[in-house]
Structure formats: C-alpha cells, structure tokens
C-alpha cells in the first residue's frame, strides 16, 4: 500500500503543475506553457500576448502540511497549492478546501527557511492570506504594472 500512496502523491504533485497552468490562464488571460521537463528551477512559463515579457513560475503542492521545500531560486513567482487530503485504500479524500497562493520570488526568498534553508512556510510571510488566488500579480508583472 505504501507504493500506491507514493504513486498517488507523485501524481498529485505532477498534476498540480497542470492545475496551476489552468488557473493562471483562466485568471490572467496570458499565454501559459509548461517549462522543459526535468527543470529543477521552475515549472511553468507565462508570456504576455505579444511575447515581449515573460515570467517563470515554480509550483509546489502539499497535501499533508502548510509548507513546501524550495530548492531552486530561478523563478519569478511561486504558486503554492495546499490541498489537504488523506489516501485511504488508494482513494484520495480531501479534508478541507484547496487553497492556491501566488507569492512573488522576493517574498519567498526573504522568509526564514529553517536550518536546511529549503523549508518554506507561507505563514512566515506577514499577511500571507492576501496572496491567496493573487493571479493578478502575474498579470500585472507581464503588463508592466507595479505589483
């Protein structure tokens, strides 16, 4: 059963990138594409319509705790998807509503990441709740507006 749970957790993490792509496209109207696979620094590329500006998005997903491990730093925004759930007999059961946060790179990098330097907890960002579904930050960055 441990192998099944591990495969489900891996599938959820991979699916999080597609969820993020859809949410970005739906909420910004920008052009969204998956970054080349096996790129450890970012997962998604977002461009404005004339392709004159783009940004890189790192996606992290957690179903067990409100935190993520961040190893790379070559992204412009972090999308953190918190989808608490349990896996019982190979079935995913949500335990509360999914939350999606959009954090600018500078905010993520300025937070304390513990002894390992990779443990990111959004609650370390003052007023972190205001970044929930903040897809407008991505759109504003690509339209040249100040975030």
What are the structural domains, with CATH classification, of the chain?
2-142 (3.40.1350.10)
**Does residue 147 have a pLDDT over 60?**
no
Average pLDDT of span 41-49? 93
Share of residues in the chain with pLDDT > 90 (%):
57
What is the structure's pLDDT at 142?
A: 95
Dihedral (Cα; 120, 126, 130, 135), 10-degree rounding: -40
**Does residue 6 have a pLDDT over 80?**
no
pLDDT confidence tier of residue 80, bands split at 50, 70 and 90: very high
pLDDT confidence tier of residue 146, bands split at 50, 70 and 90: low
| Sign of the torsion formed by the C-alpha atoms of 145, 58, 107 and 80 | positive
């Amino acid at each position: 059963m441990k192998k099944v749970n591990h495969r489900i957790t891996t599938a959820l993490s991979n699916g999080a990138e597609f969820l993020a792509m859809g949410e970005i496209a739906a909420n910004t109207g920008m052009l969204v594409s998956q970054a080349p696979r096996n790129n450890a620094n970012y997962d998604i590329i977002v461009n404005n319509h004339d392709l004159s500006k783009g940004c890189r998005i790192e996606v992290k997903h957690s179903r067990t705790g409100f935190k993520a491990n961040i190893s790379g730093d070559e992204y412009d925004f972090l999308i953190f998807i918190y989808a608490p759930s349990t896996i019982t007999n190979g079935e995913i059961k949500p335990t509360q509503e999914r939350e999606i946060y959009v954090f600018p790179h500078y905010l993520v990098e300025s937070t304390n990441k513990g002894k390992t330097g990779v443990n990111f907890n959004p609650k370390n960002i003052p007023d972190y709740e205001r970044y929930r579904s903040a897809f407008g930050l991505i759109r504003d960055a690509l339209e040249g507006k100040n975030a």
